[in-house]
Structure 1
């Protein structure tokens, strides 16, 4: 039986909002000028909307729609961010699944931040997304590239142990979740785009006790927490001990290296 869709917790996700927003800001910095004013923008996998709101700062008059398939995330996004923007634009949020979403109107920017790793085969959607851009529009994305790091490797190892493997067999599937940077470059250039692809490893200095566990409780651990329900505490206890060894606390906090892959593709005029 396929694993249940993860149940998201906006408050847990936002506990590390500053660190999580840094890659989005770096992605935005490489997006070129958009072809229309006011711009039409789609944010795929908008989560609680805190990063989506940054789009309104960059393009104050734009009509921006954040799309997500989590009712919890959409509720938080609408409460905190929906409505007219100070620059005269508009910010709204709608339910949609990035696995099946296609543009229903021309967009000047389609952007996705730390979402497409959850979408198997997402590069197959690139032709439709690029096709839905206005001439000179941009497709921009950022995905985690840390599936071989201890935070994810240890999670998989515990999930495959005799105690948990029957219940978590279909829950954690990271193989092929993303392309290599060269893979993204090849796919986007083949669509006639001018592509800029790069990778960055951030060294997040996290405060507090078990901060890496606290981080992944908002993201990568959600499928396990959803699948195990009340029994998740026992899994988390095992995982916590493994993370403490892999990410020891230092005098100024815990260093959490995090690799991310970025791509910005501009459609021909």
Structure 2
């Protein structure tokens, strides 16, 4: 019997996983150089959906010291990027990184695993600048097994909220992202509902920084990328909706709500579990 790839991927999530990369990784706090290595390893702690970079201890510019911050118990569920680095889901030691008089408390973690014995996993959020070769990295390391395809389409997409059409377009851009529901990005002029900007901002390692809108009283129901990253420039200025909350019709055919571990995680994060 054939096995669905997504089931294989999510079936490995209870495990501590790693993958070497030949990409040169440089880390700094904007002033101090923290690490410069061509021997980095991507590490996924159990149930973590995105990886962290681990670098050889020998390639650090400082010293490791006993951690001064307590670890946070990791929730017994899939760990999305909103779960802090300090919530570790495998055995190991939280450590501080000390460079001269500067101490980065809790910025490192050393998993208790023989394959990673010479490495320290670094908290992406603890440092201001990450470079992959000579390009700035955003939000978190990219997963080499995660793909984002941005495609123009001539299919007609209609979005309805409580029975009212909020947007309709025959020139959408569709985003096909590994393990996530297809998202529909429509030209702003094809959005019929009023968009009220909110203060919410999120960052995606693949698409860039998103700005959000309230629509028909629903806060942060829609978003846009004003300056998307390379590979996602087709999304510039287009509007996407949290269509888990709406009725979506593609060529007049109603789409069922997506069902997958990642889709459930997305719905749970936005409080949509019972909708």
Normalising by structure 1, what TM-score?
A: 0.31
**More strand per residue: 1 or 2?**
2
**Structure label with greater radius of gyration:** 2
Higher RCO (C-alpha under 8 Å, 6+ residues apart) = 1
Normalising by structure 2, what TM-score?
A: 0.31
**More helix per residue: 1 or 2?**
1
